[in-house]
């Protein structure tokens, strides 16, 4: 084994094995053919127990609802993603962080829009995507202008570089929020694209093509 392969195994060997395992657990065409024949959600639960999804619904009482299944699937995804992120080192850790930034932006916009409509933060936080959570989310309601939003809340988050170029002194309103959302996403996607391009190799080949389409 050459030295590069040895170093790869130190930093990434476990995560590659983990990722390959996740890939093997993706539902196959035969699974979907069986799922579409299920007449009830209980039937669907029973079939999924025979896949890598296992008993993720085992503790859920009947009758099942679509929202419960959605929540538990999201929870499973988040646990697996965070497990990989917790064991990752650069540059993989940065790549995984970039994936979460889009969810952070969505959460921020949801919270700002909700507070503009006088919705309590305690009601809005559960609606946020867990992959986009950050410590300062609950303080968003204190901001009345984009500048305050940045200076009081977002300056210590990974999104700060994206916000610098898209905030103004205008008061927050629904029209400006939509402008902020679009500007944020543009800055975020461009940064993600440049990161992948600088990585080179398969990462650049695959991700730059994907990001060029969405940005």
pTM beyond cutoff 0.85:
no
Q: Can you say whether residue 54 is alpha, beta or left, with left for phi > 0 and alpha for psi between -120 and 50 degrees? A: left
Domain spans of the chain, in order of start: 3-87, 92-214
Query: For position 203, what pLDDT does the model report?
Result: 93
Identify the residue whose tokens are 């850790």: 93
- Write out pLDDT tens, residues 164-213: 766 654 555 655 778 888 888 999 999 999 999 999 999 999 999 999 88
Maximum C-alpha span of the chain: 62
Buried b (16+ CB within 10 A) or exposed e, 156-172: ebebeebbeebbeeeeb
Q: How far apart are alpha carbons 31 and 26 in whole angstroms? A: 10
pLDDT mean values, one per 10 residues, the chain (215 residues): 60 86 90 92 90 84 89 92 93 95 91 82 88 82 67 78 66 68 89 95 94 80
Q: How far apart are alpha carbons 9 and 3 in whole angstroms? A: 10
Alpha-helix residue ranges (DSSP H) falling in 36-173: 41-48, 66-87, 92-116, 121-124, 146-148, 160-164
Write out the two tokens for 44: 């669907």
Query: For position 117, what pLDDT does the model report?
Result: 81
């Amino acid at each position: 084994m050459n030295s590069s392969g040895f170093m790869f195994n130190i930093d990434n060997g476990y995560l590659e094995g983990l990722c390959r395992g996740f890939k093997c657990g993706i539902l196959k065409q035969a699974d979907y053919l069986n799922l579409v024949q299920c007449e009830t959600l209980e039937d669907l639960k029973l079939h999924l127990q025979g896949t890598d999804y296992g008993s993720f619904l085992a503790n859920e009482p009947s009758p099942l609802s679509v929202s419960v299944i959605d929540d538990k699937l999201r929870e499973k995804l988040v646990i697996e993603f965070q497990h990989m992120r917790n064991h990752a080192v650069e540059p993989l850790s940065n790549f995984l962080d970039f994936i979460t930034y889009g969810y952070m932006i969505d959460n921020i916009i949801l919270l700002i829009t909700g507070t503009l409509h006088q919705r309590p933060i305690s009601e809005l936080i559960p609606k946020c995507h867990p992959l986009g959570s950050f410590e300062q989310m609950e303080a968003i309601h204190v901001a009345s202008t984009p500048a305050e939003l940045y200076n009081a809340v977002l300056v210590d988050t990974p999104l700060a570089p994206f916000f610098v170029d898209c905030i103004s002194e205008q008061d927050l309103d629904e029209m400006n929020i939509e402008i902020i959302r679009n500007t944020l996403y543009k800055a975020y996607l461009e940064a993600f694209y440049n990161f992948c391009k600088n990585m080179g190799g398969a990462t650049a080949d695959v991700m730059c093509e994907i990001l060029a389409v969405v940005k």
